[in-house]
Structure 1
Amino acid sequence: MLLTLTLTQPDAVQADAAQTAAQHSASDLGFLLHKHPERVQTKTLSFGTVSVFYPQVSAQQTTAALLLEVDPVALSRTARAGADQNEGAPLEPYVNDRPYTSGSFLAVALRDTFGTAFTGRSNDRQALADQALAFSVHLPCVTARGPEGLPERLFGPLGYTVEATPILLDPLYPEWGEQPYVELRVSGQVRLRELLAHLYVLLPVLDGKRHYYLNEAEVDKLARHGAGWLDTHPERDFITRRYLRFAALVRQAEEGFSESKTAEPQDTAPSAPVRLNLPALHLPSSNLHGERLQWVAEQVAASGAASVLDLGCGEGKLLRLLLENAQIRQLVGMDVSARALEIAARRLNLRERPELAARVSLLHGSLSYPDSRLKGFDAATLVEVIEHLEPYQIGPLTRHVFGNAHPGTVIVTTPNREYNAVFENGSERMRHADHRFEWTRAEFEAWGKATAQTHGYTLTLHGLGDLHPDYGPITQAAVFVRQNG
């Protein structure tokens, strides 16, 4: 795999003092990449060898080339000692098709080869590193799986000029088609560190596959390399889903987006936003979310609970609302996402208010497993949580919450799938990309009745938010009250 990075010096540069920073030689690219133009530099990675060399060096235009040779045998072995275990361990202990995940391999090779350039530091040319320069990137062959025009839709909104030329799989057999390979050229006026961050995130998104296992560390990588641009990218949700792949990781990233600050303005104006040709998805308004939390808080108060579990607490919005109720002396939030719990801790000011330590605690855990820490509570809430689990996990959750933990009151809210028909294309889609299923009113009632009968609860069903005469409420809810105290 080959990637070339070219820096071009404009033909005319004003001699004005205000333009001094723009006066540079294209050969300064070596100072920015921290790779000397007169040497071929080679580095061994856990999956192959990467070489950096300069096929062209002049004051007007300088090109650095990154050549990656994947070793399928090395890929099939356990990562070397000291290597990044998340990016060196193979998917399977034998030679497989992972060498063809070009975007994933290139992203890792870029990061490991130009690590200092990723930080934006340059000992000798810092002013140049901080400046938007005329860069162009050429990939003779890269995988682009997905909708037509995907490269333009990913790089275009960032201000780049994009040329993507489809490549025939085999010129002798044109009937085999062109996809999924393209020759890609991306050019624009941009800081080097921003260009590298865009490539690091978007090349794996173009490919749609990875050569290594994904875990929570990938959420931090996406947040770090997507800082300042991803949160405002018109295809942010698509990029996030493609980059992280797994629903639980996508959910963590989305929680981080909701807490992120407004991105700083870019020096270069991006092109007009371009959206992928995906069906429109209308989500419930933020007012509905607030009304839902308020209703749950009122149900908790009406139950007289002094100890409350918020299961799947996320960022802690309900916890903060329940803190206002003085009758609640013990409040515990639990979530599978460690990142979400960090956000909740900040939202609740737990570090700044040590007096809350005796009243509020956060637990990292999963509802798919029994947990003795959840026993002995007066009430438990599951607010828009159950639909994020795989269907096969509903049985274990039901047993662990209603059977093992057995709180006095359990409050559950979840979308009403029938109401989706009100939205454009809603009858064919779920309300959120991370939902694994959505229940109709009959399905929710059947689950509620079976759960109440099996575990000794009485059941009351409720409808929240807008009410459609044919499709029912936008949100459905259930309040389970344990019999015999």
Structure 2
Amino acid sequence: MHLIIRATGAGAGMLSHLLAKNPNNLYDRTEKEARVRIVFTASSEEVTEAVIYVTPDPVELVKGDSQAHNDITQYINDREFVTSSLFCTYIRAALGTALNGKPKEAYVHWVKEPLELALSFGPVASNLPDHTVEELFGALGYEVSLERGDAEYTFALKARSSARYIRLKGKQTLQTALQQLFVLIPALDDYKHYYISDDEVDKIRRYGAGWLEQHPQRALILKRTLRFGGAIRQYEEMAAKELRTAGGGPGAPADIPVLEESAPGGSAEPPGVQEAPKVRLNDLRYEAIARTVGELDERASIVDFGSGEGKLSARLSSVPGVREIRAVEPSAASQLRAMERFAKLEGRTGTVVPEPVTGSLFYFDESLRGRDVMILCEVIEHIDEHRLDRVMDTIFGQYGPKTLIVTTPNKDYNTVYGMEQEEIRHGDHRFEWGREAFSAWCSRWTGAFPYAAEITGIGEGSAEYGYPTQMAVFTRGEQLQ
């Protein structure tokens, strides 16, 4: 992970003074378990370039996490490599003088002097489409170019890769440019590794002063940096107070809808356009699946694949006629939380306690074969499309459940949430299908195996865009081929 700052033309030589770094010396420090180095690759009155390079300690990244030793997924992430909120945390101390605009007295007047800057940083892992990334920086007056790595793939993934290098060119003060990056880099990544407190709200207010209030993507930036409605409202109140103090007139900017955070094993859901729904879409999904299971003639044995923390399995435990539930999940941390949830069901009349099973859709488990019901609730969109065929072949051809229930987001409905065409609801989604694509996918499998499929919707429907969640119920015929 790196950031390159290059100044050219008038005042370029002031870059080292504004950064408070000697261009002839290597800056090499350890900040928060990461090695931070700054080296000047050019230093003259015409061109000065500083390269900031960070190498985190991958072991320290998971130390102190009480759940880390239980979950192999801690090793399968990009936190060690991508330019994210972690990167900003690592370099904040090194760039504190420039961020706060407090160089030595002889150079203070240069804090407010715009420089011809070229900023390059990455890789950034973002679920935002290219045009949205370009809008975020273009609105600030930068020329924006995006680059992807040179790796070659055997299938067309490069163009869809979320990892990009971002290059910006424009005339801006160094302090403002850095403050913009410290707000927008975490917004691009949409991941915060720390608790969002009052200090975080104040930081966004300070770093966003003079540009964030007028940014056309302001709602998106706040949603992805502050994340929660309470924090955003706190920011709005502070901004409105400052506006009134400055004589800008009464009234705060409009409230901004918030994208709910996803729980492990679940999917984040956008809010309604006018107001947050009284019932969460996740709860509506569980209710619809439980109702569907309750109406089946054969429902004694259930396999809940990708069960996460066990919320759906726990909901199904009280459905009459259900005798066995196997909650299959690869994440040990999620399973521990599921076990705590299942333990609370012990001794309840008319309730079957689900059995946690460590497993994956990519590994065949003979014990799951021939069950009455198999469920994939918000699971398939987390699987690469080119790997999904193998999963479905295994389910229909080897597990052969009497009924398979699949739910997945309806991409058509994203328009109702005000999302861009290329935008997806959750950073881990590999794809999202509209109604036509989902219907065609279901027809493909009913044509290949002796199953019939019924497609329905879940949530508040739209005459034009359908329902936020689409559900397919595959029912096996009398004879398996």
TM-score if structure 2 supplies the norm length? 0.50
Structure 1 length-normalised TM = 0.49
